Structure 1
């Protein structure tokens, strides 16, 4: 009877408990006493306990057995014997508990499909599975609240059955993140093909999780750690030992990473190609010197910013940087003139092609000249916020560095008009691009330059936010730079039509890109001359903030610039008439148009804009307050290819 009704009796219990029916006659509903049933039912006194009526089929329901009653240890053993990755992914969908258990099993703990009694020693013994594991073709990016241990576990288990995870990026939010070492362990167990991992602003992870990554993801090639205070030398040491394929390492604002880590990277990462270290106060000369001396023939790109290094590190870089092609040094406040001089005289930077110096107070005329001599193959040089560099040092540098093709100066306030034209005249025959930004020392001077040969190699000239640059400087430039094709004069209130016209007339090669944004004193006269002289080559024209430019300029553009594809007339004095003139132009192929802040435009421009929409890919109508919402909606409905900002 116990087996029939699914209950167990104890020795102290009577076989016949109190009746479950209030009326004894009702027992015939379940136990017939007819002659066809042989049931022994002895008479006994009934209790006075009443119970509600229970319909047929719901009496004493048997509790269904569930696998959930098994402890984690048993489920762990069961999951280890699942035949393939697809089955594991399906099981992970059952519950959070199953997902976390599956993610805790590393690849070498799963049992082989052919040998059910022995666990696998390698990641996989099946050829097809091995191919999938080594692909690592998938990438995942988690940010803010989406970055949790559960989601990482799901990624680790799920991606194994569809190509394998190859790239993982986790960025914590401003209010913290739920990613901990447990999530990193899941990735380490389930993603052996991981080749790139980026961890930003994660204060809740530490050495334990990163050590698991080092042991489980030994194919790792790219490592990016930013604002991870819980990671120390211990984790970096394990990564360097177990991940010999590391080629690209970025470490930023990790306060507990010091010299020991950098030394280990140089010792064990024989394939290292690029390294960037920023704002790590424990990293100094010992780590940097060891790194560059150990990777002398492999390291191609290096960026050092905000480190407590001295002249010693620069001397080592100058001697051992034989393979360096791209070098950036920023905010090295403890480096003096002697350090830059030693770096240039080390004669090890023979392959250096690009060099950026920013906020280094030790950059002086003597040090810069030494760098120019010690880097004979340098093509691009960028100098920012170096306040002790003068005109003499700039001219000496370009005379020594004869291979320079691209020169950029930003916030170098001791550079004057003499330094600018001295650089152009002495740069040799290879300088193609020159840029000056926020150089307050440049002011118009009455210079009588001797008749010297022009710089025919210079094709791009950019001068931005240098308030002292005016018509006098433009007049001199027009004589020295006849082959200009790309011109940017931005935020220069001192230039006027009379200064630009000679420059435009002397550009023999034909201007392609012209940016005159923020030049508030330019008028339609110079724009009309520009379109007539260079209309057949002009492709980009930026007149943003040229308050005196009107519809006349748009008419000239429509008539003379058939190749123009990018036009910006934001905050100019244009009206519906000017836009209509653009729409009526023949052979006009405009793709980008910005009329930001042109308050004179109204709904009457709608038809013209629709016509221009045949070729437009981008249209900026922001702050055009006279254009109604209804017109915007019509444009959105008709210009399907065009991205409209409103």
Structure 2
């Protein structure tokens, strides 16, 4: 054995140090090869030709795993350990099973040498504990071999701080073996994210809990083999856990959440989604135990009832961000109690999606019980009407942002009242609300909202020119305007809004508004050309070169221009290239079939400032012209 270990000749094995990349990338390309054995030296003694058995392994391979383990853990440094791991898959997996605490760093018997080795060991330990490296594996790359290579390759280079695994190799996906290698080689791991890894179960998570006690963030998604046992181990061994996400893990239930609430006193953020075994018992225990530090809570598609919302309302004193989605067993009473419990005084952001219990009465209670609420998002709450929206906006005195999506009982009246009620409202977004339609002209207008800076009304087919003119009078201080997908608006409806905006528009999105013409663009650049930075006219088929001429002459600050699917020709592009805008960075001409090879010179001139150019579906531009642009505009990302 001593002769074997101390052997220093180079005619049998290559030391392999130059073959090892940062994470043993060469090792991962071995495939089915089990032993790395480069061409040997020419024999020193000539003799009769003998046919050797190709299946005969080098003598060291006959050693059992226990002996090889002892050899590998005595290698002097990270480079040597990485080189040894490149020899074969067996050596790699054995190297990955060596814990950092099991590595023998001092093998010298001389006193002075031992002191030096000890100093190096202490230095290595300090570097190792930093844990700043990040690795991400997706799809076919997610295998045990790669995890073992990462563990060995990063152990001497600062240690792995963040690991993300998304998807799994269908033939050789990661298992508990690969995760154990990470646990043994990377005790400094602070962030672990596992998505769609069905072969990883409690055994791998137990190793992580035992070795990586500095873990701060755990994200488990589609991990059917992980149960309460693994989560309890994390809770009992990782007291620094601050963020927990559990999604589509059917084997995790109430016991795991109870352990997290009991042991993880620093937990600040928790997301629980689509876990059928988790109910009121687990959620309530977690929220009540971590009530002093828990600031972000997201509950999605869980079998919880009104009791959980009552606990949130009572114990959620530290919660600043709350997201409740698809809680089908929660009734109006649950939201009403949550609001009236008077515990959500610090809540600043609230999102409620697809919850049948959200009604006018419960929404008003939430508004009264959350005095610090600044951001409110209501999606697919079909029982909320104009009355509830008006009551909520009157009660939520600090509201700055309101988002409504697929709330089909809310009409133009509710939106107008909401804008008038909120004296601090800065952002209003309305999308896919089918009952939002034009009001009769004789409807009285309410007081304008001088604080509103951003208005987005998208894909509301009933919203027309009459409504637009009314909104314009209510919002004189707009900076951002998004009217994408409003097929009913015309020049006559939009012009009053443009005239009423006193502060100067900065970002304007009019995409997929087919009835708008050059008249609107001419008025826009005349009134707001000195402040305009973004203009999106995608799909406005009646926009022609006249609009580009006006933009070129007036919009000195313009950085992003999209005229895709407009009636733009080479003349318009030429005018734009001679314009006053000097900071244009993104230009989209997608679908402008009248732009031809004649625009190459103009585009090259624009390319002095462009970083993005979209020429997709420009059928009149030839491939040679595209190649010329790509060659000369090397700083610009060109889509063709």
Which residue does 1:508 correspond to in 2?
502
Taking the aligned partners of 1:546 and 1:246, their CA distance within structure 2 comes to 51
Could you tell me how far 1:640 is from its partner in structure 2? 1.1
Q: Counterparts in 2 of 1:50-449, with a 5 A limit?
A: 57-59=46-48, 66-113=59-106, 126-173=121-168, 175=170, 177-427=172-422, 429-449=423-443
Taking the aligned partners of 2:153 and 2:45, their CA distance within structure 1 comes to 46
Taking the aligned partners of 1:81 and 1:628, their CA distance within structure 2 comes to 64
Aligned length: 585
Taking the aligned partners of 1:458 and 1:57, their CA distance within structure 2 comes to 93
Q: Secondary structure at the match of 2:155?
A: helix
Taking the aligned partners of 2:164 and 2:410, their CA distance within structure 1 comes to 43
Q: Secondary structure at the match of 2:188?
A: coil
Could you tell me how far 1:544 is from its partner in structure 2? 0.5
Taking the aligned partners of 2:57 and 2:435, their CA distance within structure 1 comes to 86
| Aligned: 1:574 with 2:563 | no
Could you tell me how far 1:72 is from its partner in structure 2? 1.6
Q: What do the CA deviations read for 1:51-77 (whole angstroms, capped 9, x no partner)?
A: xxxx97224989997322222221122
> Is 530-539 or 126-135 further displaced after alignment?
126-135
Taking the aligned partners of 1:247 and 1:142, their CA distance within structure 2 comes to 23
Taking the aligned partners of 1:224 and 1:470, their CA distance within structure 2 comes to 45
Taking the aligned partners of 1:199 and 1:525, their CA distance within structure 2 comes to 54
Q: Secondary structure at the match of 2:267?
A: coil
Taking the aligned partners of 1:578 and 1:127, their CA distance within structure 2 comes to 68
Taking the aligned partners of 2:320 and 2:576, their CA distance within structure 1 comes to 47
Which residue does 2:31 correspond to in 1?
none
Which residue does 1:24 correspond to in 2?
none
Could you tell me how far 1:87 is from its partner in structure 2? 2.6
Q: Secondary structure at the match of 1:150?
A: helix
Q: What do the CA deviations read for 1:293-334 (whole angstroms, capped 9, x no partner)?
A: 001011111111000000000000010011101110010010
Taking the aligned partners of 1:397 and 1:176, their CA distance within structure 2 comes to 54
| Aligned: 1:479 with 2:473 | yes
Which residue does 2:36 correspond to in 1?
none
- Decide whether the 8 Å contact of 2:555 with 2:580 is kept in 1: no
Which residue does 2:21 correspond to in 1?
none
CA pair 292-492 structure 1, distance change in 2 beyond 3 A: same
- Decide whether the 8 Å contact of 1:382 with 1:407 is kept in 2: yes
CA pair 65-357 structure 1, distance change in 2 beyond 3 A: closer
Could you tell me how far 1:589 is from its partner in structure 2? 2.3
Taking the aligned partners of 2:468 and 2:306, their CA distance within structure 1 comes to 41
- Decide whether the 8 Å contact of 1:263 with 1:287 is kept in 2: yes
Taking the aligned partners of 1:495 and 1:217, their CA distance within structure 2 comes to 59
Which residue does 1:536 correspond to in 2?
530
Taking the aligned partners of 2:128 and 2:65, their CA distance within structure 1 comes to 27
Taking the aligned partners of 1:65 and 1:530, their CA distance within structure 2 comes to 80
| Aligned: 1:457 with 2:446 | no
- Decide whether the 8 Å contact of 1:177 with 1:202 is kept in 2: no
Query: TM-score, with normalisation over the residues of structure 1?
Result: 0.88
- Decide whether the 8 Å contact of 1:435 with 1:462 is kept in 2: yes
Q: Secondary structure at the match of 1:126?
A: helix
Which residue does 2:541 correspond to in 1?
547
Taking the aligned partners of 1:286 and 1:296, their CA distance within structure 2 comes to 15
Taking the aligned partners of 2:258 and 2:547, their CA distance within structure 1 comes to 62
Could you tell me how far 1:248 is from its partner in structure 2? 0.9
| Aligned: 1:489 with 2:478 | no
Could you tell me how far 1:173 is from its partner in structure 2? 4.3
Q: What do the CA deviations read for 1:572-631 (whole angstroms, capped 9, x no partner)?
A: 011111101101113432111001111111111111111110111100000001100000
- Decide whether the 8 Å contact of 1:296 with 1:320 is kept in 2: yes
Taking the aligned partners of 2:57 and 2:478, their CA distance within structure 1 comes to 84
Q: Secondary structure at the match of 1:276?
A: strand
> Is 169-178 or 125-134 further displaced after alignment?
169-178
CA pair 496-174 structure 1, distance change in 2 beyond 3 A: farther
Taking the aligned partners of 1:390 and 1:543, their CA distance within structure 2 comes to 33
Q: Secondary structure at the match of 2:483?
A: strand
> Is 575-584 or 474-483 further displaced after alignment?
474-483
- Decide whether the 8 Å contact of 1:177 with 1:204 is kept in 2: no
Taking the aligned partners of 1:150 and 1:315, their CA distance within structure 2 comes to 48
CA pair 66-493 structure 1, distance change in 2 beyond 3 A: same
- Decide whether the 8 Å contact of 1:391 with 1:416 is kept in 2: yes
Which residue does 1:634 correspond to in 2?
628
Taking the aligned partners of 1:205 and 1:327, their CA distance within structure 2 comes to 30
Taking the aligned partners of 2:276 and 2:498, their CA distance within structure 1 comes to 51
Could you tell me how far 1:509 is from its partner in structure 2? 0.3
Q: Secondary structure at the match of 2:471?
A: helix
Taking the aligned partners of 2:327 and 2:571, their CA distance within structure 1 comes to 56
- Decide whether the 8 Å contact of 1:595 with 1:620 is kept in 2: yes
- Decide whether the 8 Å contact of 1:558 with 1:588 is kept in 2: no
Aligned-residue RMSD, C-alpha: 1.9
- Decide whether the 8 Å contact of 1:144 with 1:176 is kept in 2: no
Taking the aligned partners of 1:134 and 1:328, their CA distance within structure 2 comes to 35
- Radius of gyration: which is bigger? 1
Taking the aligned partners of 2:178 and 2:96, their CA distance within structure 1 comes to 9
Taking the aligned partners of 1:249 and 1:268, their CA distance within structure 2 comes to 13
Q: What do the CA deviations read for 1:372-403 (whole angstroms, capped 9, x no partner)?
A: 01100011000000000000000000000010
- Decide whether the 8 Å contact of 2:168 with 2:174 is kept in 1: no
- Decide whether the 8 Å contact of 2:332 with 2:359 is kept in 1: yes
